[in-house]
Amino acid sequence: MNGKTVIITGCTSGIGKETARDLAHRGARLIMACRNVQAANKLKDEFIKETGNNNIVVKHLDLSSLKSVRDFASQINREESRLDVLIHNAGTAETFRKKTTEDGLEMTMATNQYGPFLLTHLLIDLLKRSKPSRVVVVASELYRLASLNLDNLNPVTTLPAYLYYVSKYANIVFSLELARRLEGTGVTVNCLHPGLIDSGIWSSVPAPLSWGLYLIIRGFFKTPKQGAQTTIHLAVSEELEGITGKYFLDCREYGLSSGVQDPAKGKKFWELSETIVKLQPTDPKI
């Protein structure tokens, strides 16, 4: 990855952190786009010390804020001469607490889908100039538990736990439609399921329940490093040059449900999303 520039969002923990670490080892110019700049800078120092790669920068990005997305993209377009890989890794999940962003959008959908949608638009010209380039979207098999209601794309009254599944469904619809729209441009788009990750969220479970959970996690959950492998594969593998509009699991192409692949649904969702993120006439079009 020497000479290549990669942006990864949300990389201060979990699979994002391990993806960033791997790319730093590979010599990429790594742009860590994170909400928690203090934590990101600490990791940056760790990566530089570990890899000897000094070409790592930290930028503030809050994907739940349309203004933050625009400010970040403006800075990237002003300062960077190329962008080889854009990795949409950042995500948020709530259970019961309903939250709305400063833009009036439901927090989970804004962070996991609409922020990345706007960011991709604002960076698309840089990606095209850097072809062959890639967009990688971290989705989830949990999409199979959801559906996408095109009549209610800002579901502020819906249980947030369910909206995480909806956002992952939306990620895949977005990825496939983006791939269709970018066909022939030299920019490829693929999405993935990282697997069930042992991220430490179960550490507060008291004994004796924790004993059984520990065995389940050890047997079935991946470590963050293991979970990052498919993202890394889609970002760097030479054998995927030119491959676009696919869904991957464990570094292999994997089948999708028919509903999520519907081109008419993808087109409609795209057009409605343009309004939701307040896309301007002067913004790049895809």
**Both tokens of residue 180?**
């269709």
> Of 149, 174, 173, whose CA–CA distance to 162 is shortest?
149
111 within some domain: yes
CATH number of the domain at 84, please.
3.40.50.720
Rounded to two decimals, the pTM is 0.92
Percentage of residues in the chain having pLDDT higher than 90: 84
Active site residue 143: no
The pLDDT of residue 208: 54
Answer yes or no: are the C-beta atoms of 147 and 175 closer than 8 Å. Answer: no
284 in any annotated domain: no
Number of other CB atoms surrounding residue 76 within 10 Å: 21
Would residue 268 count as lying in a domain?
Answer: yes
Task: Select which of 114, 143, 164, 165 is catalytic.
Answer: 164
**Cβ 182 vs Cβ 285: under 8 Å:** no
Is 113 among the domain residues?
A: yes
Structurally, the chain folds into a number of domains equal to: 1
pLDDT at 220: 64
Residues 119-146: pLDDT tens digits? 999 999 999 999 999 999 999 999 999 9
d(CA 198, CA 223): 5
With a CB cutoff of 8 Å and minimum separation 6, the contacts of 126 are 76, 77, 80, 82, 83
Instruction: Report yes or no on 282 lying in a domain.
Output: no
The domain containing residue 25 runs over which residues? 5-276
Confidence bin at 160 (pLDDT 50/70/90): confident
The 10s digit of each residue's pLDDT in 184-195 is 999 999 999 998
For residue 196, what pLDDT is reported? Answer: 76
